[in-house]
Amino acid sequence: MFYFTIDILGTIAFAISGVLVAMEKKLDIFGVFIIAFVTAVGGGTLRDLLIGNTPVVWMRDNIYVFVIIGTVVLAVLFRNQLKYLRTSLFLFDTIGIGLYTLVGIEKGLAAEMLPLMCIALGTITASFGGVIRDILCNEIPVIFRKEIYATACILGGTSYFFLRKLPFDDQYAYAVAILIVIGIRLLAVRFKIALPSVYSKDRN
Amino acid sequence: MFYFTIDILGTIAFAISGVLVAMEKKLDIFGVFIIAFVTAVGGGTLRDLLIGNTPVVWMRDNIYVFVIIGTVVLAVLFRNQLKYLRTSLFLFDTIGIGLYTLVGIEKGLAAEMLPLMCIALGTITASFGGVIRDILCNEIPVIFRKEIYATACILGGTSYFFLRKLPFDDQYAYAVAILIVIGIRLLAVRFKIALPSVYSKDRN
Amino acid sequence: MFYFTIDILGTIAFAISGVLVAMEKKLDIFGVFIIAFVTAVGGGTLRDLLIGNTPVVWMRDNIYVFVIIGTVVLAVLFRNQLKYLRTSLFLFDTIGIGLYTLVGIEKGLAAEMLPLMCIALGTITASFGGVIRDILCNEIPVIFRKEIYATACILGGTSYFFLRKLPFDDQYAYAVAILIVIGIRLLAVRFKIALPSVYSKDRN
């Protein structure tokens, strides 16, 4: 129940981030819905395709489509109020990537993938919805340019495999790894930490 | 035989729409072919990937590749005459999305998908070839911006599930649903109907 | 062992071409890595998805990820020296597309695809990593615009099916077809041969 709630909150946060980008591009309401949809489910879809886990996860239950339709309707109606929710949205989104990273890793483990591939699948689950959103909106994906985002997924995902070796129940490792993803992302945004630039020297 | 004819006419119409967009971008002949190809088969390919129906449909028969090669050669040779065919092309295209919508729904039913997902699969089959075409040509997909296109697929697809409950043979429901998709699209273009804008208030 | 060496050299060359494009777009180090990665494995991934050969090939062995990480680190560190390696890189890349074309064809044959589809799969394996690279970097894919690249794959791939009918061992056909791809690409670049333009008449 707890996981389900977080999953739905993450879906909502991702969908709203899609609505915001789509409305900036002045898409029509169908376009806004599609962008919201791919932002929310795109990462999990790519993960399922890569490991051959079809039909992909959102096709097995109507709940995702309904939640995203509801989110889009409300987000469009109350679009002028969305700016007051910026902090809550950021929080949902951050909790969302924490959970999605670990969900992706667990799916990888269930498909007997190597640990490195599980971390890749977790990162894809959490971050490639946003990549597809940006491609559809004709932008270079934002996570390739400036944010500590995928990096938080990779570090949190890696920590999970170390934590699992400790003499505790795997569920603790799972929860702690989620918190590590969330913590790194919060600290990075709070202290404006970006990946070290590889271009500085070239600019002299 | 009737369905096969429509399928091929739809493929040709979609391929030509790809040729037109690709030539506007001054792609070379290989690029024109690839864009024509993904426009014609991209929607069905995405549908097959999502439900795990591989190898995807166009790989199982050479006919699609040959029809698209022939279409591209003729369309490039007679590109100056294409403008006189605009009405015929629009008609093929519209018949094509009607049929493709129902083909996608049937594939979804065959894979035991939920009705909502079948409608999504039908819409994807009919409209995502054009989305991939526009992405490859570095444009925001046109169906996200202004046309009643996917909406016709969604409404026609939804009607199919109601029509199937009527005490007639399913084939009638199938044919009527195709006509509904075609009818909505024709009316929308004839009367310049677009989705209600969600931006008008913001412009005041 | 010979094939493995060429495979790794091809991966390195493709990854470096990704690094070069990504750094031109001023992506951060994570973005550079992802672009290098999709350039190197994107073609094989699409091929595996289309024939339903999942999990896709790079997920089954850590070697590709490690090779690409190493390549990205070295390419970024020595980016100012890369220009001196231009000829070597072009050679690796050309050898890479030759081998990748035949690898893709063999995978198609193993999946009992039609010859035409095997050639398509070979061409996809060799060239679609670069297509995905360009899409992610918000460019119209370069192979749609000017290079003899996919054409070399198609001609070499086609020749393989004729060569296999000769009374020699299939391995010779395999090796000769690779050389044909490489030869066509080298000649095209050396003599600046492009596909015949379909636009010249329109410009008068």
Contact C117 B56 (CB under 8 A): no
Cβ neighbour number for residue C127 with a 10 Å cutoff: 26
List all chains that touch chain A, counting a touch as 3 or more CB pairs closer than 8 Å. Answer: B, C
Q: Using only C-alpha atoms, what is the Rg of chain A?
A: 17
The residue written with tokens 């024509």 in the block is B36
- pLDDT tens digit string along A85-107? 777 778 878 888 999 999 999 99
Contact between chains at B136 and C140 (C-beta distance less than 8 A):
yes
Q: Do B138 and C143 touch (CB under 8 A)?
A: no
The verdict on a CB contact (< 8 Å) between B50 and A54 is yes
User: Which tokens belong to B22?
Assistant: 């690709």
CB of B147 closer than 8 Å to CB of B194: yes
Contact between B185 and B154 (Cβ < 8 Å): no
Instruction: Note the pLDDT of residue B6.
Output: 74
- CB atoms inside a 10 Å sphere around CB A192: 7
> Contact C104/C126 with Cβ under 8 angstroms?
yes
Report which of residues A84 and A141 the model is more confident about. A141
Residue A87 in tokens: 């902090």
Instruction: Retrieve residue C156's tokens.
Output: 């070499």
User: How near does any CA of chain C get to the CA of B126, in Å?
Assistant: 19
State chain C's mean pLDDT as an integer.
Answer: 88
Which residues, 6+ apart, have CB-to-CB distance to A71 below 8 Å?
Answer: A11, A12, A15, A16, A19, A36
Task: Give C26's pLDDT tier (boundaries 50, 70, 90).
Answer: confident
Contact at CB, B117 and A59, closer than 8 angstroms: yes
Exposed, middle or buried by CB within 10 Å (0-12, 13-18, 19+), for A83?
A: exposed
Name the pLDDT band for C118 (thresholds 50, 70, 90): very high
- Residues C171-198 have a mean pLDDT of 86
Q: How far is CA C135 from CA A135, C51, C128, in A?
A: 7, 23, 10
- 8 A C-beta contact, residue B144 and residue A133: no
CA distance C74 to chain B (A): 31
Average pLDDT, chain B: 88
Q: Which of A22-36, A109-123, B189-203 shows the highest mean pLDDT?
A: A109-123
Q: Distance (Å, rounded) from C-alpha B79 to C-alpha B77?
A: 6
**Rounded mean pLDDT of B146-165?**
90
3-state secondary structure chain B: CHHHHHHHHHHHHHHHHHHHHHHHCCCCHHHHHHHHHHHHHHHHHHHHHHHCCCCCHHHHCCHHHHHHHHHHHHHHHCCCCHHHHHHHHHHHHHHHHHHHHHHHHHHHHHCCCCHHHHHHHHHHHHHHHHHHHHHHCCCCCHHHCCCCCHHHHHHHHHHHHHHCCCCCCHHHHHHHHHHHHHHHHHHHHHCCCCCCCCCHHHHC
Q: Integer distance in angstroms from the first to the last C-alpha of chain C?
A: 55
- Cα–Cα distance for residue pair B2/B5, rounded to 1 Å: 5
Q: What is the Cβ-side half-sphere exposure of residue A131, based on CA atoms within 13 angstroms?
A: 25
Chain A residue numbers with beta carbons less than 8 Å from the beta carbon of B113 are 55, 59
Q: What is the pLDDT of residue A204?
A: 40
- B100, B43 Cβ separation under 8 angstroms: yes
Residue C63: its pLDDT value, please?
93
The candidate with the shortest Cα–Cα distance to C124, out of A136, B34, A128, is B34
- Cβ contacts (< 8 Å) between B198 and chain A: which residues? 23, 28-29, 32, 76, 79
Provide the pLDDT for residue B200. Answer: 60
**pTM for the whole structure:** 0.90
Q: Which residues of C touch A (CB under 8 A)?
A: 22-23, 25-32, 34-35, 45, 49, 52, 54-56, 59, 61-62, 65, 76, 79, 135-138
Min CA distance, B30 vs chain C (Å)?
6
As a whole-number percent, the residues of chain A with pLDDT over 90 amount to 50
pLDDT band at A203 (very low <50, low <70, confident <90, very high): very low
ipTM of the prediction: 0.87
CA angle centred on C111, ends B66 and A54, rounded to 5°: 95
pLDDT per position as a tens digit, B24-79? 888 888 889 999 999 999 999 999 999 999 899 899 999 999 999 999 999 989 88
Residue of A nearest to B46 (CA): A49
Q: What's the CA gap between B3 and A199, in Å, rounded?
A: 57
Q: How far is CA C116 from the centre of its chain?
A: 19
In the predicted model, what is the mean pLDDT of residues C88-94? 81
